Amino acid sequence: MTTQYSIDAPLKIGTRGSPLALAQAHETRSRLMAAHSLPEAAFTIEVIQTTGDAVQDRPLSEIGGKGLFTKEIEQALLDGRIDIAVHSMKDVATVLPDALVIDCALPREDVRDAFISPKYGAIAELPQGAVVGTSSLRRRAQLLAMRPDLKLVEFRGNVQTRLRKLDEGVATATFLACAGLRRLGNFELAKPIETDVMLPACAQGAVGIERRKDDEAAQALLAPIHDAETFTRISAERAFLKELDGSCRTPIGGLAELDGNTLRFRGEIIRPDGTTTHAGSWQGPPSEATRIGAEAGIELRAKGGEGFFA
């Protein structure tokens, strides 16, 4: 199924409705406009509500794994209601529907986590027993490994909602991705945490664009905005996640970095209570990114053994 996109037949871009998701969809549209000298009228942005957005009163781990923020958008793609879908890659399942493909990534943003607190400047400054809000099992486990004294509470919602909860005193501190804060123009709130202190989620800071495999016009349109370095890095990270069956229910961190002709991958798995961590570093040629990530996943899965994430 191939369509020629134009003002008369605009490209329909599917996205979640959060301010961050919309910022990513607008960035995609801007890049496509610049790459092809097309006017804004050649594109429409279609907001699709996902299960992850609709259910705000329960932890993500209770309502399912990955796919909570993508399933309905992918269905719209399969149905032909939209032509491309813009995703935060850390929300995307490692196995896609057969008819869909992600072969375009935007240049990656800051991969780090940000510590956010109106009163304190870093994790180490938090007083004994301080209340910290996060919905991420990875961040919870990493925090408990560092500071088992902290009291952790569930903290769902978009960036604005979480900042409001801090103002209301629901928690003393929380964490957000630096990438999201940069894309929203709120980076002044961030106290970045270096990746050797808190390894980020796999594919954090990366935006991927999904399309139907048989849509050659969409493929041609997306090709000029594709960032190969980002794609190589997240290929390693997603291969790692796939071997570990990573979802919102599993505390896993992973980051691939390129240094010339070497791809270096760091990964870790943590018990949900923070009591045990298995971590390692692997490297090899960038052309073998998927193999490197998969090998890391297999090795750490063997170290963890059966029921590690229970």
Three-class SS state of 151: strand
Which alpha helices (DSSP H) does 113-227 contain, by range? 137-146, 159-167, 178-184, 216-222
**DSSP character string of 48-99:** ---HHHH--SS-HHHH-STTTTTHHHHHHHHHTS-SEEEEEGGGS-SS--TT
Which alpha helices (DSSP H) does 157-288 contain, by range? 159-167, 178-184, 216-222, 228-243
Closest alpha carbon to 266 in 275, 278, 251, 248: 278
- β-pairing, 173-177 with 113-116? antiparallel
Residue 280 β-bridge partners: 267
Active-site entry in 91, 110, 113, 215: 91
Active site residue 91: yes
CA dist 178 → 30, 113, 249, 268 (Å): 21, 6, 22, 20
**Dihedral in degrees, nearest 10, Cα atoms 82, 88, 94, 96:** 0
Structure token digits, residue 260? 């010339």
d(CA 93, CA 85): 14
Quick one: DSSP state of residue 42? Answer: G
Quick one: DSSP state of residue 113? Answer: E
| Residue found by looking up tokens 């996902």 in the block | 50
- Which residues, at least 6 apart from 182, have a Cβ–Cβ distance to it below 8 Å? 109, 110
**Which residues are catalytically annotated?**
91
